[in-house]
Amino acid sequence: MKVTLQNLTKIYPSRSKKESKGVVAVNDFNIEIADGQLVGLLGPSGCGKSTMLNLLSGLQKPTGGKILFDGDDVTNLPPENRGVGLVFQSYALYPHLTVKQNITFPLENRRGKDKLSKDEMNSMALEAAKLVQIESLMDRKPGELSGGQQQRVAIARAIVKKPRILLLDEPLSNLDARLRLQTREEIRRIQRSTGITTVFVTHDQEEAMSISDLIIVMKDGVLQQVGKPQEVYDNPGNLFVAKFLGTPPVNTFDGYVKDGGLYIGEERVLDAAGVEDCDVNVAIRPEGFEINPQSAFTCTVDRVEVMGRDISIVSTHEFSHNPLVRSIIGSENVNDVTEGNVKFDVKKNKTCIFRKDTDERIFF
């Protein structure tokens, strides 16, 4: 199902009377999500991601704007009429019901002509349970399951009613690191096999990038960028997106453009022909460095971290925003790194510059 958001806005009224302005949790969102996509809604905590999800599910009403499902305006529809499946961050499994009863719960709600027979419900529940591989746990209570199993039950309960859209709120946040890797593959698999348009919320960019068809980056309720993960990573629209995506994070520096060259301090790092002179923020991905003793860009080595396949040179630079500059280079270069200074070539396609005054990306 195609999801369209038009000028979607949610403002929470302020509690104190002195502050008349409320909190803008979602600010003028315009997005189109194609049918059958797995979408990662990404942003730091408190940026309005969960509000977004609640707006999509219908648990909250937007202050302004519209939500369209396949072109139908659902903005004022209550959740039960939208056909949404929602997996809560804490799963919200009913503790007094067995796994099977939890999964059939949404089906039992159907009345009138949609009413299902016991057999139909059982077979649908079993189908959903098989999809998430919990068919052997049907008679247990949620309290007797591990976190990962509870997660699967919650997903089964959300998909058993064949929703038009599946929403997952921080689906991996309550799992340990190993299970997280496994579960995110699982979510991808379940989404592929059901073909349900799925939106999941996360603050973990790695999680979002690894499985999403599309990622939506937001900050303080404002849409920052929408795109395929690799596109957004390679071409961040602003400094925030550049910083937010990627592990280890991007290295950022104070720089300026002068006479068709990009400078960090006194060092001319790259050519920037045709760019007018201005102060810029320079973002260089860790993999955007190459050791070259003839180069101009000089860092002071702090330490070298060996990771097997490649090494990470942790160094310092006067104009870096962060105390440390992290560069990742092939491990065959490990002998080129010595105490003291190291000189790098900077790869142009791994470098982005943003105007200091407007945060506007400058292409060069």
Q: Which residues 6+ apart lie within 8 Å of 266 measured at CB?
A: none
Which one of residues 62, 65, 85, 246 is an interface residue with other proteins (CB under 8 A)?
Answer: 85
Shortest separation between residue 108's beta carbon and other proteins, angstroms: 8
Q: Is 92 in the site for other proteins (CB under 8 A)?
A: yes
Q: Is 61 in the site for other proteins (CB under 8 A)?
A: no
Which one of residues 40, 48, 58, 65 is an interface residue with other proteins (CB under 8 A)?
Answer: 58
CA–CA dist 174, 157 (Å, integer): 18
Nearer to other proteins, 173 or 292 (CB): 173
Shortest separation between residue 182's beta carbon and other proteins, angstroms: 25
Which one of residues 94, 139, 182, 277 is an interface residue with other proteins (CB under 8 A)?
Answer: 94
Shortest separation between residue 79's beta carbon and other proteins, angstroms: 5
- Among candidate residues 347, 364, 355, 178, the one with its CA nearest the CA of residue 250: 347
Residues numbered 302 to 361 that lie near other proteins (CB under 8 A) are none
Ramachandran sector of residue 91 (left: φ over 0; alpha: ψ -120 to 50; beta: rest)? left
Nearer to other proteins, 92 or 222 (CB): 92
Which one of residues 8, 25, 84, 280 is an interface residue with other proteins (CB under 8 A)?
Answer: 84
Which one of residues 57, 205, 251, 315 is an interface residue with other proteins (CB under 8 A)?
Answer: 57
Tokens describing residue 120: 């139909």
Which one of residues 12, 88, 319, 364 is an interface residue with other proteins (CB under 8 A)?
Answer: 88
Q: Is 81 in the site for other proteins (CB under 8 A)?
A: yes
Which one of residues 36, 44, 79, 261 is an interface residue with other proteins (CB under 8 A)?
Answer: 79
Among all chains, which residue has been given the structure tokens 């072109």? 71
Q: Rounded to whole angstroms, what are the CA distances from 63 to 21, 29, 67, 73, 236?
A: 13, 12, 12, 15, 29
CB-based contact 89:173 (threshold 8 Å): yes
Shortest separation between residue 193's beta carbon and other proteins, angstroms: 22
What is the pattern of x (binds other proteins, CB under 8 A) and - over residues 133-162? ----------------------------x-
Q: Is 12 in the site for other proteins (CB under 8 A)?
A: no
CA–CA dist 253, 323 (Å, integer): 11
Kindly compute the dihedral angle of the four CA atoms of residues 208, 210, 213, 216, in this order, to the nearest 10 degrees. Answer: 20
CB-based contact 268:310 (threshold 8 Å): no
CA–CA dist 249, 82 (Å, integer): 39
CB-based contact 38:196 (threshold 8 Å): no
Interaction site with other proteins (CB under 8 A): 57-59, 78-81, 84-86, 88, 90, 92, 94-97, 105-106, 108-111, 161
